[in-house]
Amino acid sequence: MPRAKGRSSLLALARNALPALAAIAATASAAPLPAAPLTRPIASYQISCRLDAEKKVVEGTELLTWTNTTTHPAATLQFHLYLNAFRNTLSTFWRESGGGHRGNRLPESWGSIELTRMTLADGSDLLPALSYISPDDGNPHDRTSAEVQLPRPVAPGETISVSIDFRSRLPRVSTRTGWKGDFFLVGQWFPKIGVFEEKGWNCHQFHGVSEFFADFGNYDVSIDVPARYRGKVGATGVRVEERDLPGERVLYRFRSESVHDFAWTADPDYLVVHDLFREPGIADTQIHLFLQPEHRAKEGRYLRSVKAALSGYGRVLGPYPYATLTVVDPPWGARGAGGMEYPTFITGGTHRMSPANEHSPEGVTIHEFGHQYFYGLLASNEFEEPWLDEGFNEYMEDRVVGAAYGSDNPVVTVFGWRFPVGIPIRRPLDVNRRYFRVATEDVLAAPAWKFRSSAGYAGHVYSKTALALATLERLIGTSTMNRAMRLYADRWRFRHPKTADFIAAVNDATGQDWHWFFDRTFFSSGAVDYAVEDATSEKSKPPKGLFESEGRLVEKPPADLASPKGWDTVVTVARRGEVAMPVEVALRFEGGHTYRSRWDGEARWKRFRVERGPKLVEAIVDPGEKVLLDVDRTNNGRLVTPDPRAASRWTSRAVFWMQNLVDFLTVAW
Amino acid sequence: MSRRVSAAGCFARGVALSLSKPYLAVSLWLIQLLLAGVLVLPVSNALHSLLDHSSTGSRMVADPDFGWWETIRRTHPDLLGRLPGAVEDATGVEGVKPGSLAELQGIGATAISLALLGIVLHAFALGGIFGALREPHSSLVVFGREGMRRFPAFLAFTLGALAAALAAYHWIYLVTGETWRDRLNDLDTEGQAMALTTARVVVFLLALAAIKLVADSVRAIWVARPDLPAVSRLFAGLAAAFSRPARLFGVLLLYVLSGAALYVLWIFLDPSAGGEARFALVPLILAQQVFVFLRSLLKVGYYAGVSEALTRVPSPEYSYVPAAAVEPVASVDRAPDEAAIDGPAGAI
């Protein structure tokens, strides 16, 4: 049961807030928003909240309007109370994350969300009927999902209103939400209703790696902050009001339609930059960049990357439909707030000394913008099918970043100073190599919290998906792939697509059945590995033995075989991985001749013979690098005549640098 | 009246001495080459086996291939183990932990062993260098004799300095990193965090420099004052280091800067890159070895510079009164110019 502490003060807050909510409703029609919602709202919120910047607490009142869109009645309501993930070390999030996130230790700064009032429109008090649930792991200590029994079921098609008072205590930023000093990123901060499906409620707990799932609706949120945050508050949607309040405070009101979450940020140090994205065929978008003063020099890089993303994603998946995009640059020490997406609101992140070819903040900004599609518009279930948002977005990010910026360069950090290394990292293959380290550990198509490790989750959900889709693109062609992606995006905008829906879009776009491909990639833990095991080319020799000549057998071969010219070539290509893919095999001969052959790749090996042809130079399996899931490309090509140059040079380098290492280690003492 | 000689003068004189006795640099170069040469066969065999028949090899003649490197690290953990990660950790914000040694394998582990062996051989070489520098007509024979003669003491100095350096890494760099890890995130800007990390590094490097200068001073005085008992020589060496810290530090700084300039030049010219278009294999190897030899010349020059700074040019403010000249003990083969420390200028 929720704690009753502080209830009286919250009731007072609620009493104060109700007139504000009424005012919101009265002025809604005057707000500068699109005339009609982009989709039918299912879960809409009117929230009025107040930030206590010193106590790191947000107190609020929420009016939830929810419609049962299924064909059966709902006897209960289920809610996400995700700030309780930070309540203590017994939460499922804390247990699964092992006290760390993205390689950083979680600070012992606790967060929570307490419900102090929950009533229906008729005044029925729901709070006594509230209980915490743990549908995923049965953890009795987890408080991130809750269920409330209704006095009477909500009938199919019926809409109800629930009024809730809540008090959210924010943690020090570590995972997508929290504070650092005066900086606030306020996400997952209000009681959010789950998704009611035909099979019942879908309301997962907050996990170590997974993200979110919610229904679309309209948000009208008033945020009351201290006056020092004037002009430094950004949020989901469009800002429709700024008003001074008594007591050195200021109120901001934001509205957003057809979204499924709401986040906001405030930091008195922000440099706020406004820009406009305009491109023929794509609707104009107002860009609001909330930049840290330390990253002033990155302003242009942020804006250019946002525009590249709006253009790149928009051309393939259809225009970004919202009027604004807010981009947040978190401060130092709040990296856990970076690289996160909320509807019309993303957080980037960069380093003070990030060289241009590291593409930071470009990569993360483009990635997070991509989630406006894969999560925002195509609101798949991030718990149950995380690849549909992270993996698909990774694939598109590789395309957009690659087109706009080319290859990345790795960065070496020496005592905190970052230096680029002149080795190109190609997209999508090189940036997704983490998959190869965990290739056979998990099946990609698994719920987010059921991967063996966070490395397994990232390697599969992000990288395997991206490599699989890039492989598919190379198999069916980029234009066909674009058609499939667009079909999928158009069909499922503002809905909850599943993997089967994407496969259907691919099948429709290609006119072929590609289930086999997804069975072998998304639904298999097998690895792909093709190799040229042997490649020889020897001078053709005359045959020996008995041959027919003028009706009798002689030991002399016929004249046309007696002095063969050319070379006999034998190449053996093997499938070393469990998973088969169609591959091309190229035999490159002297004189520039190349023989290409398609192999379905099903058998364990295939042998190619060429008699009396030119001499083979090399044999390559998958020469066009189409099958990007191949876990070991170093065995994909084989030279007939060994070329020792590379090995000799790298040996000399190794010895040289070993000499330098010996010298370095002996110099200090 | 004594004349003051600057650190630059000492270093220049040291380099001149180094050039006049090139066999000292040759000896250092040979030691490093032989140590590194141990790796030639395993590295060469592994690379030829992996690259000679591979189509990837032709792409790697000039430049590294990121995919190849990543794949080899993954498929052959037996080659390097976690050496690349340990190197990255060592220069990271938090530093490398002692447990990293347990994760090294194959060539990576061998490299560390060779480096440790290099430290031991270096102790021998320093005895030879310091001894031979004081001989007007020295040779490789003198180098070897002096090296062996002083090996036990110099090995003790080297191990002591190594222990002090590791302690400095632990206490100055690692412990502060661990202590300030959370506070680092509390700072307002990344610039402040970088400044703090840089300050840690600078303090650590200064400590390393101090350790090195003390060790080198002890070595120099150990050779210069064979007339003193061992304990007195040790303390005389320690005192010498503290008597001329600025000049010694100047010599060290010039050595580090000139060495760094060589590396910058190497990276700028980049004779390894460009493949066959720029350097064939043999010229490439020659260029590499010339580079190492030049660096060895500088290194000998530095030691000669330290010796110069401590023994050849007395400082007028230095109050130590040298002991009366004594006849060397019969077993000590003292060179004619092996004079007492801080004798009058020109007496040596």
pLDDT digits (tens, 9 = 90+) for A238-254: 999 999 999 999 999 99
| Residue-level pLDDT at A2 | 37
Answer yes or no: is pLDDT of B341 > 70: no
Cβ-contact A582, A475 below 8 angstroms: yes
Please name the residue of chain A whose CA is at the shortest distance from the CA of residue B286.
Answer: A652
From the list A424, A436, A639, the residue facing B55 with the nearest CB is A639
Judged by average pLDDT, the poorest of A397-406, A501-510, B300-309, B333-342 is: B333-342
Angle at A638 between CA A632 and CA A643, to 5 degrees: 115
Sign of torsion, CA B77 B80 B81 B86?
negative
- Percent of chain A whose predicted confidence (pLDDT) is above 70: 94
Report, as an integer, the average pLDDT of B101-129. Answer: 86
The percent of residues in chain B predicted with pLDDT above 70, rounded, is 85
Contacts of A353 in chain B (CB under 8 A): 194
Judged by CB atoms closer than 8 Å, whether chains meet at A352 and B194 is answered as: yes
**A37 — pLDDT class (breaks 50, 70, 90):** low
**Is pLDDT at A101 greater than 80 in this prediction?**
no
**Range with lowest mean pLDDT among A173-187, A254-268, B56-70:** B56-70
Q: Do B52 and A644 touch (CB under 8 A)?
A: yes
What is the structure's pLDDT at A669? 55
Yes or no, beta carbons of A650 and B52 under 8 Å apart: no
Report the residue from A351, A426, A669 with minimal CB separation from B165. A669
pLDDT at A464 over 70: yes
Range among A266-280, A544-558, A648-662, B31-45 rated most confident: A266-280
Residues in B closer than 8 angstroms to A656, CB to CB, are 36, 272, 288-289, 291-292
Question: Strand, coil or helix: what is A355?
Answer: coil
* Chosen from A102, A104, A425, A655 to mutate, greatest number of chain B CBs within 10 A: A655
ipTM confidence = 0.84
pLDDT value, residue B97: 74
Please give the pLDDT value at position B345: 35
**Is the pLDDT assigned to residue B322 strictly greater than 70?**
no
Domains, chain A, ranges and CATH?
Answer: 1-28+37-268 (2.60.40.1730), 270-526 (1.10.390.10), 530-647 (2.60.40)
Residues of B in contact with A661 (CB under 8 A): 111, 115
Cβ–Cβ gap A332/B187 under 8 Å: yes
* E-assigned strand segments in A23-122: 43-52, 57-67, 74-80, 100-101, 104-105, 112-120
Minimal CA separation from A646 to chain B, in Å: 4
Residue A13: pLDDT over 50: no
Minimal Cβ distance to B39: which of A417, A658, A663: A658
B54–A668 C-beta distance less than 8 A: no
- From the list B52, B88, B118, the residue facing A666 with the nearest CB is B118
Residue range B266-293: average pLDDT? Answer: 77
* pLDDT band of B313, cuts 50, 70, 90: very low
pLDDT tens digits, one per residue of B148-197:
999 999 999 999 999 999 999 999 998 998 888 878 889 999 999 999 99
Q: Which of B59, B190, B254, B265 to mutate to test the interface with A (most CBs of A within 10 A)?
A: B190
Q: How far apart are CA A630 and CA A577, in angstroms?
A: 8
Lowest mean pLDDT among A34-48, A389-403, A650-664, B316-330: B316-330
Across the beta sheet with A594-599, the strand order is A594-599, A583-589, A616-621, A637-639
With CA atoms as reference, the chain B residue closest to A658 would be: B36
Subunit contact A415:B54, Cβ cutoff 8 A: no
Residue A22: the pLDDT is 40
What would the mean pLDDT of A94-100 be, rounded to a whole number? 87
Positive or negative, the Cα torsion across A24, A27, A31, A35?
positive
Does residue A23 register a pLDDT over 90?
no
Query: What pLDDT sits at residue A176?
Result: 87
Average pLDDT estimate for B200-205:
93
Least confident of A70-74, A204-208, A493-497, B53-57: B53-57
> Chain B residues with CB inside 8 Å of A415's CB?
91-93, 197-198, 201
Average pLDDT over residues A5-25: 40
Please list every residue in chain B whose beta carbon sits closer than 8 Å to the beta carbon of residue A659.
32-33, 35-36, 288, 292
- pLDDT at residue B320 is higher than 70: no
A294 contacts on B by Cβ (under 8 Å):
189-191
Answer yes or no: do A639 and B58 touch at CB < 8 A. yes
Nearest to A506 by CA among A491, A526, A525: A491
The candidate with the shortest Cα–Cα distance to A395, out of A449, A323, A468, is A468
- Residue A364: per-residue pLDDT: 97
- The overall average pLDDT reported for chain A is 92
Checking if the pLDDT of B337 tops 70, the result is no
| pLDDT given for residue B104 in this prediction | 83
Residue partners of B199: CB distance under 8 A and separation at least 6: none
Judged by CB atoms closer than 8 Å, whether chains meet at B118 and A635 is answered as no
Residue B309 CA to its chain's centroid (Å): 18
At residue A419, the pLDDT reads: 85
Q: Parse chain B into domains and list their residue ranges.
A: 7-310
Contacts of B54 in chain A (CB under 8 A): 634-635, 637-639
Band the pLDDT of B276: cuts 50, 70, 90.
low
Q: What pLDDT band is residue A668 in, cutting at 50, 70 and 90?
A: low
Q: Do B55 and A620 touch (CB under 8 A)?
A: yes
Contact flag A634-B187 (C-beta cutoff 8 Å)? no
Residue A248's CB is within 10 A of a number of other CB atoms, namely 10
Q: Are A63 and A16 in contact (CB under 8 A)?
A: no
A638 touches B at CB < 8 Å: yes
Which positions ≥6 away from A539 have C-beta within 8 Å? A566, A567, A568
Q: Is the pLDDT of residue B343 over 90?
A: no
Choose among B52, B162, B189: nearest Cβ to A647: B52
Confidence of residue B114 (pLDDT cuts 50, 70, 90): confident
- For residues A561-576, give the mean pLDDT: 94
- pLDDT of B94 reads 73
Q: In this complex, do A634 and B72 lie within 8 Å of one another by their Cβ atoms?
A: yes
**Neighboring chain B residues of A409 at a CB cutoff of 8 Å:** none
A100 touching chain B per CB within 8 A: no
What pLDDT was estimated at residue A553? 92
Q: Any chain B CB within 8 A of the CB of A435?
A: no
Average pLDDT over residues A579-595: 96
A654/B67 touch (CB, cutoff 8 Å), yes or no: no
A15, pLDDT greater than 60:
no
Instruction: Answer whether residue B335 shows pLDDT above 80.
Output: no
- Please answer yes or no on whether B55 and A424 come within 8 Å at the CB atom: no
What percentage of residues in chain A have a pLDDT greater than 90?
81
CA distance B255 to chain A (A): 11
Give me the sign of the Cα torsion angle A412, A427, A365, A392.
Answer: negative
What's the pLDDT score for residue A256? Answer: 97
Q: Which residues of A touch B51 (CB under 8 A)?
A: 643, 646-647, 650
State pLDDT tens for residues A49-88. Answer: 999 999 999 999 999 999 999 999 999 999 999 999 999 9
Name residues 414-433 of chain A within 8 A of B (Cβ).
414-417, 423-426, 429-430, 433
pLDDT of residue A3 exceeding 50, the answer is no
**Which chain B residues have a beta carbon less than 8 Å from that of A333?**
184-187, 193
What burial letters (b/e) apply to B181-216, b meaning 16+ CB within 10 Å? eeebbebbbbebbbebbeebbeebbebbbbbbbbbb
pTM, 2 dp: 0.87
Position A131, amino acid: S
The model's pLDDT over A428-460, given as tens digits with 9 standing for 90+, comes to: 999 999 999 999 999 999 999 999 999 999 999
Residue of chain A whose Cα is closest to the Cα of B31:
A659
Distance of residue B229 Cα from the nearest chain A Cα, in angstroms: 23
**Selected residue of B33, B51, B268 to mutate for chain A interface (largest A Cβ count, 10 A):** B51
Residue type, B131: G
A658–B35 CB contact, under 8 Å: yes
On chain A, the residues whose CB falls within 8 A of the CB of B115 are 661-662, 665
What's the average model confidence in pLDDT over A25-35? 39
Q: Report, as an integer, the average pLDDT of A162-177.
A: 95
* Nearest-neighbour CA in chain B from A642: distance (Å): 5
| pLDDT exceeds cutoff 70 at A227 | yes
